[in-house]
Amino acid sequence: MWESHCESISEMKRILIGNSDFEYIISNNGYFVDKSLLIKEFFEDGNQVIVLPRPRRFGKTLNLSMIEHFFDIRKPDSVSLFSEFNISKDKTFCEQNQNRYPVINITLKNVKGRNWEESFEIIKKKISELYQEHEYLLDSEKLNEAERRQFKMIFFREGGISDYGYGLSDLSKYLNKHFGQKTIILVDEYDSPIISGYTNKYYDEIIMFMQSLLGNAFKGNDSLEKGLITGILRIARESLFSEFNNPGVYTILDPYFDDKFGFTEPETQKLLAYFGLQNNFEDVKYWYNGYHFGKTDRIYNPWSIINYATRHEQGFKPYWVNTGSDPLIKKRITEPGVDQTYDDLQKLISGEALKKTIDENFIFSDLEGNKRLLWTLLTFSGYLTPVEKIDYETYMLRVPNFEIKTIFKNIIINWLEDENKVQKELLELTTQHLINNRISQFEKGFRRIIGDTFSYFDTRGMAENVYQAYFLGMLAIIGDDYIIRSNRESGEGRYDILLIPHDKAQYGIVIEIKRVEEKGVTESDAHFHKRINTAIKKALNQIEHNEYYKELIEHKIKNIIKLPVVFAGKEPFITPLAL
């Protein structure tokens, strides 16, 4: 019965979405997944400053708010907020530390200006609002006149870049003098302004300012008790943290704090049971499970779980979209000239794991020239998860769940639709012609798609693997029903593309791609048609001779389509031309 696993209906807790303030959630009878032991783990860590990169919407802001309310010397009434949670059981720790320190808590998640000037104005507003929270310091007898003047300058947003660069460190000193206790400084989403700066071409300016802001706050600050910084990426020390005294950086690859962000499987099951959704657990697991952080497996995306729990009557859908690093990821995935990337994405969409190098010291300046960094970006941003560690920097990566698989497909499809003006309806209709063996209709639709896609590019000298990459992009739309593989051994060689249906009654498809020169100005139609037909025949013979369809037979697929695709510039040919 419903009453067997929760309070009466009138006392039931609610899921409160859109507010990450710990006090608000607890005071308004909100459901809270108990992460309170993070407080002690953070405080007792041997590093004075800790950096915890985690994917967006994995509970970072709420966790920092929880830490703030536990330690804040100005909030003694917040003791009651923790009475139901694990941290309250550690009486000694609570007696020694609860509400004993001044706390600075600032989030930079919305610092996303279109240029440096706009970004700096947002930063000024953020820091000014922080000072306004501590307006009482203007009446403190512990501050001298010079300090009060500096305080007012920031308070009224009248300072310059250097003044705001000392904004956090100065405030911590004022708090230390007033309360006689060192300050805990919490910075949320520190990399949000950096990502915006990189995307909008003011990276150098924002990096210099962030070096000042964080460096002054966290290095050589005698008023600092502990510091905690969260974000998505671990920005390399030499570009940002060069002023720090070796902060403790714990990413999703490390076995520390690994169960403190995101919901563990027991936490997810408990939440679902509380709201009477326990019978849907297997579907929830399929859609939202799959992350591996440190030594903790089966971490669930909290944003997706709480949204599903409140909207479960709508069914399952992807909720985790529009994350902060999306522009970087979409730019890398959809840029012209990608080939191996599409191949790898199709393998991921099909459920395979990829062996990739992860560079924890992320440097934005390397992103343009080092395509390998895409996999680091995808992993730290939550699009991929490590499933096996090969060596100190090499991991097997996979898509964590069906929600992310859907997001990958949509990125590719939206790129074809938005950037290359290929209509989704045309993609769907054309791929349906293919998988139902309507080859002549498929050829007509495929010509329209390729004509639109390649209209922006010079195809002279374009290699076969680039054609293959765009073919794979189109096939993303049927990724739910097929395992889509490319460049793998089968029979006596390597096929270009293989489609293995989950339903063994459907057609399996093996595709061989060839490229020939475009029709010459003086070349006759007959001669050109002969070249096309020869290439089509060669592709078919290659499929037959090398038995590229052998893997389909091993999967007990009886209906097999052997499809040659010959490209002459921007025009594909599948069926022979009349001579």
Rounded Cα–Cα distance for residues 10 and 7 (Å): 8
Angular region, 428: left φ>0, alpha ψ -120 to 50, beta rest:
alpha
- Please tell me which residue, 226 or 485, carries the higher pLDDT value: 226
Q: What is the structure's pLDDT at 291?
A: 94
Tokens representing residue 466 in the block: 């680039």
Rounded Cα–Cα distance for residues 144 and 386 (Å): 53
Residue 234 pLDDT greater than 50, yes or no: yes
Q: What is the structure's pLDDT at 418?
A: 64
Ranges of beta strands (E only) in 330-488 are 354-357, 385-389, 394-398, 482-486
Domain range list for the chain: 33-249, 326-403, 422-573
Q: Give the pLDDT band of residue 242 (cuts 50, 70, 90).
A: low
One-letter identity of residue 94: C
Q: Which of 3-17, 314-328, 353-367 comes out lowest in average pLDDT? A: 3-17
Choose the most confident range, by mean pLDDT, from 62-76, 193-207, 358-372.
Answer: 62-76
- Closest Cα partner for 346 from 494, 194, 474? 474
Which pTM value belongs to this model? 0.83
Rounded Cα–Cα distance for residues 537 and 361 (Å): 50
Residue 542 pLDDT greater than 60, yes or no: yes
Rounded Cα–Cα distance for residues 311 and 321 (Å): 16
Q: Which residues are registered as beta bridge partners of 508?
A: 560
Rounded Cα–Cα distance for residues 550 and 547 (Å): 6
Q: What is the structure's pLDDT at 258?
A: 95
Tokens representing residue 555 in the block: 């999967």
Instruction: Give the total residue count for the chain.
Output: 579
Q: What is the structure's pLDDT at 422?
A: 67
- Render pLDDT for 340-353 as a digit per residue (tens, 0 to 9): 676 677 778 777 89
- Cβ within 8 Å of residue 282, ≥6 positions away: none
Q: What is the structure's pLDDT at 103?
A: 98
Residue 41 pLDDT greater than 60, yes or no: yes
Q: Give the pLDDT band of residue 8 (cuts 50, 70, 90).
A: very low
- Render pLDDT for 175-194 as a digit per residue (tens, 0 to 9): 999 999 999 999 999 999 99
Rounded Cα–Cα distance for residues 138 and 143 (Å): 8
Three-class SS of residue 479?
Answer: coil
- Cβ within 8 Å of residue 2, ≥6 positions away: 9, 276
Residue 238 pLDDT greater than 60, yes or no: no
Residue 10 pLDDT greater than 60, yes or no: no
Task: Let me know if 519 is exposed, middle or buried by CB neighbors in 10 A (0-12, 13-18, 19+).
Answer: middle
Residue 443 pLDDT greater than 80, yes or no: yes
Q: Give the pLDDT band of residue 464 (cuts 50, 70, 90).
A: low
Tokens representing residue 231 in the block: 């974000």
Query: How far, in whole angstroms, is CA 434 from its chain's centroid?
Result: 33
Return mean pLDDT, the chain.
87
Q: What is the structure's pLDDT at 324?
A: 47
- Closest Cα partner for 229 from 81, 93, 244, 221? 244
